[in-house]
Amino acid sequence: MPFYKYTNIPTANLIIENQTMRWSSPVVFNDVEECQFVPFTKERIAHAYKKYQEILIECAKGNLPENYNSYSVVTKMIVSLLQITSGTNALSAESLAEIMKTVSGNFDGDFRQYVNAALIKCFRVLCVTTDFENKLMWAHYADQHRGCVLELDKFFDNEPRGLRAGYVRYHENLEPASNPLDILLCGETKEASMALIDDVVFSKRTLWNYENEYRYLFNESFGEITTTIDMATNNRTIKVKNQPEVLYTDVPFSLNTIKSITFGVRANTEDIDQISGMLIDKGSTASFYQMQMQDGRVVRTDLERQFLRRNR
């Protein structure tokens, strides 16, 4: 399936001239709520802790579930402590669960702080769509029809490490892909991390659903992330070091993956000539189109022959 990138003329020139596509941190996106969705409600967190407590008690009694080997070192250590202190009143699953609740503090605020302080600046996201004639997209992202839309079938020469891709889910109260109980039991496994990324990076409010957005994601180095908790006050401090200072990465791609360029209704002849001529000079076989007004409607018109004749 082809994907389309709406852009203005200066950016299109840079993309073609440098043969790179800019993947940006969500920090610079126009939606200020990017990555601010917390997947777990307070009720779901409370239920997870209650269930966790029940599972700890059963494990301490020797009733181990089939997937016990997948539990985290921390969970197994707690079970061992419960078994050692059984009958001494020195430790109980209930008291451990209460301690963990206290340490977890304000989950919503802490989770969002962790994302904003430690993660979001390192995310690199490329946003595309499946529709080349979306009127709102033309207005918002292609300079009010003065820009263009690039049709591409690949956005990189070498696949970035840890690449994720998928459609954005639009919601007001999204059913999360991740599960807090799984994280309590097994820690932050690869599967749990991937589910959290789906919830945080691949979701937006419903008012943006006109974009029909598809996203590509990879991470630049997260550097060193340190979280400290003051047990007396439960205050958390997150410090990061050695993270990239810039909020984007320019990823190389091959020009032969550009299948077409569609210019807007208001795109001027000079801009169209410059971009089409640059592509032709570089050996591109891309097709050229322009959105034009016909009988009060915007339709896409094939302009390839005009450009080939103009650039001889």
Task: Identify the helix (H) or strand (E) that includes residue 237.
Answer: strand 235-241
Question: What share of the chain has pLDDT > 90, as a percent?
Answer: 52
Burial zone of 3 (CB within 10 Å; 0-12 exposed, 13-18 middle, 19+ buried): buried
Query: 294-301 — which CB contacts under 8 Å span 24+ positions?
Result: 298/133, 298/135, 298/265, 300/132, 300/133, 300/262
Instruction: Round to whole Å and give the CA distance between 148 and 264.
Output: 5
Residue 74 CA to residue 64 CA, distance in Å, equals 16
Total residue count of the chain as it appears in this document: 312
Instruction: Say which residues have a Cβ less than 8 Å from residue 268's Cβ, sequence separation at least 6.
Output: 146
| Distance between CA atoms of residues 31 and 160, nearest Å | 25
Query: Is it the case that residue 108 has pLDDT exceeding 50?
Result: yes
Q: Is the pLDDT of residue 7 over 90?
A: yes
Q: Is the dihedral of CA 249, 250, 256, 258 positive or negative?
A: positive
Mean of the pLDDT values across residues 45-65? 86
How many CB atoms sit inside 10 A of residue 153's CB? 11
Average pLDDT on 54-69 reads 89
pLDDT of residue 183: 83
Whether the pLDDT of residue 122 is over 80: the answer is yes
User: Bigger pLDDT: 233 or 311?
Assistant: 233
**Residue 44: band (very low, low, confident or very high) from pLDDT cuts 50, 70, 90:** confident
Per-residue pLDDT tens for 170-180? Answer: 988 777 888 88
pLDDT of residue 102: 57
Residue 90 has pLDDT above 70, yes or no: no
Residues in Cβ contact with 147 at an 8 Å cutoff, skipping those fewer than 6 apart: 6, 7, 8, 9, 11, 12, 138, 141, 263, 264, 267
More confident residue, 305 or 159: 159
Q: pLDDT band at 309, cuts 50/70/90? A: very low
Mean pLDDT of the region 38-57: 83
Reported as a single tens digit per residue, the pLDDT across 217-245 is 999 988 777 777 665 666 677 788 888 88
What's residue 112's pLDDT?
79
Residue 100 has pLDDT above 70, yes or no: no
- Is the model's pLDDT at 75 over the cut of 90? no
pLDDT over 80 at 104, yes or no: no
The larger pLDDT score, comparing residue 86 to residue 171, is at: 171
pLDDT at position 182, please?
87
Give 238-268 pLDDT, tens digit per residue.
788 888 889 999 999 999 999 999 999 999 9
Cβ(169)–Cβ(203) under 8 Å? yes
Helices (H) and strands (E) in the chain, counts: 10, 14
Q: What's the CA gap between 129 and 114, in Å, rounded?
A: 29
Q: Which two tokens stand for residue 55?
A: 């599972």
Pairing relationship of beta strands 297-302 and 287-294 according to DSSP bridges: antiparallel
Alpha-carbon gap, residue 131 to 127, rounded angstroms? 13
pLDDT band at 117 (very low <50, low <70, confident <90, very high): confident
Would the pLDDT of 21 be above 80? yes
- Residue 72: pLDDT band with limits 50, 70, 90: confident
What average pLDDT does the chain have?
A: 86
CA angle 40, 41, 43 (to 5 degrees): 125
pLDDT score for 232: 62
Confidence grade of residue 140 (pLDDT, cut at 50, 70, 90): very high
Q: What is the pLDDT of residue 312?
A: 45
